[in-house]
Structure formats: structure tokens, C-alpha cells
Amino acid sequence: MRSKIMSSVGTRDTGPELVLRKRLHRLGFRYTTHAPGLPGKPDLVFPRLKKVVFVHGCFWHGHACRWGRLPKSRRGYWAPKIENNHTRDLRVVRKIRRLGWGAMIVWQCQLREPEAAVRRVVAFLERQRRKLRR
């Protein structure tokens, strides 16, 4: 049963991702999604600013919050799986930064209070906008 549920979880256009996208679009930010040419296919790509934002699910990416806890059953399966995801995430962010792009991670739990998360992302993007204006 759990396998069927977990296999139905999507990787694109998730609820938290849509919350962030809609709010940023409303603020005037334009982006592309899931750019295949960049490592990890970032959720939001701001090509002009050379910035990317990943929206990570707390469970799938091993966040240290209450939603990131491992299930009590089959820990031998879930622990290495989540650890591999976490290791891959670090590797992808390093690759993106080596290509000269800025990267930011927004966690699913942070989007439960979207205003604060959106302010952080806007600040991240505005730093680059100010540099480009000079």
C-alpha cells in the first residue's frame, strides 16, 4: 500500500512549488521551470539573474523537521534512500555554483508560512538584480 502511495508522489508542480511560483510571479519575477540543461533540473530558474531555487520536500530530502522524519517501518530501506537523495542534492548545488549560478533551497515546511519564505527568496534574487543595475 505505501509503495503505491509513494509512487504516486509527483516530482514537478508540487503544491509547495506552486505556492512559491504563484507568489513570485505576482511580485513580477519571471522564471522557467525544470531547466533540463542545468544539473538537478532546478524547480525555478531565473536565467537573467543566473539564480536557481529548489523546492525540496522535507521527507524526500531529509530535512531536520517534523515532516522529515523517517517512517518507523522499513528503516533499512528508507534511511539509505533519503541519505542518497541528500548527498545528490549537495553534489547538484556544488555543480550549479561551479557553473557560476546562485542556488537556494526552500523547504516544504517553510512554505507553510509562505510570506517569510517568499521574502527570503526575493532577497536572494534582489541581490543579483542590484548588481545587474550597476
Distance CA 93, CA 106 (A): 13
pLDDT at 91: 97
pLDDT at 65: 93
Q: How confident is the model at residue 5 (pLDDT cuts 50, 70, 90)?
A: low
Distance CA 124, CA 54 (A): 13
pLDDT tens by residue, 29-75: 999 999 989 999 999 999 999 999 999 999 999 999 999 898 889 98
Enumerate the domain spans of the chain. Answer: 17-110+118-133
pLDDT at 7: 54
Encode the chain in three state secondary structure. Answer: CHHHHHHCCCCCCCHHHHHHHHHHHHCCCCCECCCCCCCCCCCEEECCCCEEEEEECHHHHCCCCHHHCCCCCCHHHHHHHHHHHHHHHHHHHHHHHHCCCEEEEEEHHHHHCHHHHHHHHHHHHHHHHHHHHC
Distance CA 44, CA 131 (A): 20
pLDDT of 130 > 70? The answer is no
pLDDT at 63: 93
**What proportion of the chain, given as a percentage, has pLDDT over 70?**
87
The average pLDDT across 72-98 equals 95
Q: How confident is the model at residue 111 (pLDDT cuts 50, 70, 90)?
A: very high
Q: What's 17-110+118-133's CATH class?
A: alpha beta
